[in-house]
Chains A and B, each alone.
Chain A
Amino acid sequence: MASVIEGKQFMGFCKRLWFVLIFGLVCWGIQGHRDISWASPFDSRQNAATLEVDVVGHELIQTARLDEDSAKTSVPEEKAASKEEKPTEDPEDSEDWPEDELSEDSLFPDPLEPMNRAFFEFNDAAYFWFFKPVSEGYSVVMPEVLRVSIRNFFTNLSMPIRLVSSLLQGKIKSVGMILVRFVVNSSAGFLGFQDVAKQALDYPIQDEDLGQVFAFYGIGPGFYLNLPFLGASSLRDTAGWVGGLYLNPLDYILEDWWSNLGARAFDMTNKTSLRIGEYEALKDASLDPYVAMRNAYFQYRLNQIEK
């Protein structure tokens, strides 16, 4: 095959493709599905008539606040009623209603839901029909110890992404840990195959990426995206992912198109083989796997950002 394309071209191609794809998706989504609900549960309430109007963020919040107020005022009656029936019931429990619903719905809308759902189905099929059997076959051949080592190697290699991300967030302690980890693991850990820094120094891996940097500077997630092959993401985190491509040394080491692609596929198969069962568990436990995944992603990222 006459296809010795330079690796830089691979990167360039990837980035251009994703930018075009994301831009296209957003335009298509906004054009085609303007009237699709903003995934807000508020309009099921009686006094949320204002939501009939095209919803803008602050309006949504205002309505929600109104709702909360009305919910609060209605609690005492409820309490009194339930006390008559069940005096043993804990009166405090009725005040336990979670209050984080509001923040999520206004922060993490899902305007492209039909498209996301389609890609979710696609990823689901791709996982069960292709990625899972391939990684299962792979894990039969490769013992787990080796697979963990290979994962460690690729993780060690992608150090620049974490380094730059923590630098940009001014996390000095993390920066130090990342540098020490890289030096120790690359030397004593045989090019990163062994995570010596974790075992000997108890320096855990610092999970930082450019998406978290954007969040650090106050950029919200935008909206939810479920991308083919890449899975759950948001507009902000997809941008961070694309930026991360520039920082991954893999693209500078393997410049040849096919070997680059091969290394990526190998890394992905290896990672998947260590995580078989996670997606199945989520799917098994949920009533609407799509919503479960979206919410899990939102919470997971929030947790990462706060760290």
Chain B
Amino acid sequence: MEKHRIWPYLRSLFGGVLLILMFAAPCFAGVPTDGIKETTDRILAVVSDPALKGPENKKKRGLLIRKAVDERFNWEAMTKRSLARHWRKRTEAEKKEFVALFGKLLERTYLDKVGSYSGEKVIYVGETIDGRYGTVTAKILTHSQTEVEVRYRLKELNGDWRVYDISVEGVSLVNNYRKQFSSIILRSSYDELVKKLRAKVAEKD
């Protein structure tokens, strides 16, 4: 009788160890940071590649960067969070169109930022993982000696960590767009918002 009593304890102990191993493993690996690092390094390699310099290579450069960014960013999740409760009311076609347009706008903003790159240093200062959600914090040291804190929020999807929000100095991009979208929808309508977005995307193409 005494022997049987020990099993629950052993089992829970075993389970505990397993649990710890399961949750600890990704923490040690630092998968989100590696992903962000890889993408950033890829982009910086393109930007600082002498073979791709000059205005005649702008398109080529843009394509390469776009590819790198597309693999790391989850445009749909970004759009979902930005439209928030307005997302549910949309039809499938509308959703698709909005994701494409908004993704393009974000991509272009990001490209413009990267395009003005001039040797800033990027330091990765921290990472947190909470289940399937994670954050990666980086500091960018600009050449005018100011530090800019950038925080990526990522979510794991089929073993792949994808960015769904970026905060710069505590200003979340998705939160900012959400305010703009809800304000425009409140004042006019969803159609007006799409019209505005389309015009914005077309502005520079």
* A-to-B contact residues, CB < 8 Å: 37, 39, 41, 43-44, 71, 78, 85, 90, 92-93, 96-98, 100-101, 104, 144, 147-148, 151-152, 195, 198, 204, 274, 277, 281, 284-288, 291-292, 294-296, 299-300, 302-304, 306
Q: Is the CB of A300 within 8 A of B145?
A: no
Bound Cα distance from A187 to B123, whole angstroms: 30
Q: Closest Cβ of chain A: how far from B186's Cβ, in Å?
A: 5
Bound Cα distance from A204 to B197, whole angstroms: 39
Q: Is the CB of B193 within 8 A of A287?
A: yes
- Residue contacts A-B, CB under 8 angstroms, 15 given: A41-B182, A43-B186, A44-B185, A204-B147, A274-B144, A284-B109, A286-B180, A287-B184, A291-B183, A295-B176, A299-B172, A299-B176, A300-B170, A302-B170, A303-B169
Bound Cα distance from A43 to B183, whole angstroms: 11
Interface residues on B, range: 35 or more
Bound Cα distance from A19 to B184, whole angstroms: 33
Please name all residues of chain B whose beta carbon is closer than 8 Å to the beta carbon of A306 when the two chains form the complex.
Answer: 170
Given contacts A96-B80, A204-B147, A285-B105, contact A295 B185 (CB under 8 A): no
Chain B residue nearest in CB terms to A295 = B179
Chain B residue nearest in CB terms to A39 = B183
Q: Closest Cβ of chain A: how far from B16's Cβ, in Å?
A: 25
Q: Is the CB of A287 within 8 A of B171?
A: no
Please name all residues of chain B whose beta carbon is closer than 8 Å to the beta carbon of A98 when the two chains form the complex.
Answer: 81, 84, 174-175, 178
Q: Is the CB of B186 within 8 A of A281?
A: no
Q: Closest Cβ of chain B: how far from A77's Cβ, in Å?
A: 10
Bound Cα distance from A41 to B177, whole angstroms: 14
Please name all residues of chain A whose beta carbon is closer than 8 Å to the beta carbon of B180 when the two chains form the complex.
Answer: 286-288, 291-292, 295
Given contacts A90-B157, A93-B77, contact A41 B183 (CB under 8 A): yes
Q: Return the CB mask of B99-130 against A: 1 if under 8 Å, else 0.
A: 00000010001001100100000000000000
Chain A residue nearest in CB terms to B203 = A284
Please name all residues of chain B whose beta carbon is closer than 8 Å to the beta carbon of A281 when the two chains form the complex.
Answer: 109, 112-113
Q: A274-B144, A303-B169 are in contact. List 11 more A-B contacts (CB 8 A).
A: A43-B186, A78-B88, A93-B77, A93-B80, A96-B80, A204-B147, A281-B109, A281-B112, A295-B180, A299-B170, A299-B175
* B-to-A contact residues, CB < 8 Å: 77, 80-81, 84-85, 88, 92, 105, 109, 112-113, 116, 132, 143-145, 147, 157, 167, 169-172, 174-186, 193, 196-197, 200
Closest 5 CB pairs of A and B: A303-B170, A285-B109, A295-B179, A41-B182, A299-B171
Q: Is the CB of B175 within 8 A of A292?
A: no
Bound Cα distance from A195 to B177, whole angstroms: 36
Please name all residues of chain B whose beta carbon is closer than 8 Å to the beta carbon of A195 when the two chains form the complex.
Answer: 145
Please name all residues of chain B whose beta carbon is closer than 8 Å to the beta carbon of A97 when the two chains form the complex.
Answer: 81, 84-85
Bound Cα distance from A265 to B84, whole angstroms: 43
Chain B residue nearest in CB terms to A204 = B147
Please name all residues of chain A whose beta carbon is closer than 8 Å to the beta carbon of B181 when the two chains form the complex.
Answer: 287
Bound Cα distance from A306 to B178, whole angstroms: 22
Please name all residues of chain A whose beta carbon is closer than 8 Å to the beta carbon of B88 when the two chains form the complex.
Answer: 78
Q: Is the CB of A101 within 8 A of B144?
A: no
Q: Closest Cβ of chain B: how far from A184's Cβ, in Å?
A: 16
Q: Closest Cβ of chain B: how far from A230's Cβ, in Å?
A: 19
Please name all residues of chain B whose beta carbon is closer than 8 Å to the beta carbon of A288 when the two chains form the complex.
Answer: 180, 183-184
Q: Is the CB of A291 within 8 A of B116?
A: no
Q: Is the CB of B169 within 8 A of A300?
A: yes
The residue from B113, B145, B197 contacting A287, defined by CB atoms under 8 A apart: B197
Please name all residues of chain B whose beta carbon is closer than 8 Å to the beta carbon of A43 when the two chains form the complex.
Answer: 186
Bound Cα distance from A157 to B183, whole angstroms: 41
Q: Closest Cβ of chain B: how far from A232's Cβ, in Å?
A: 12
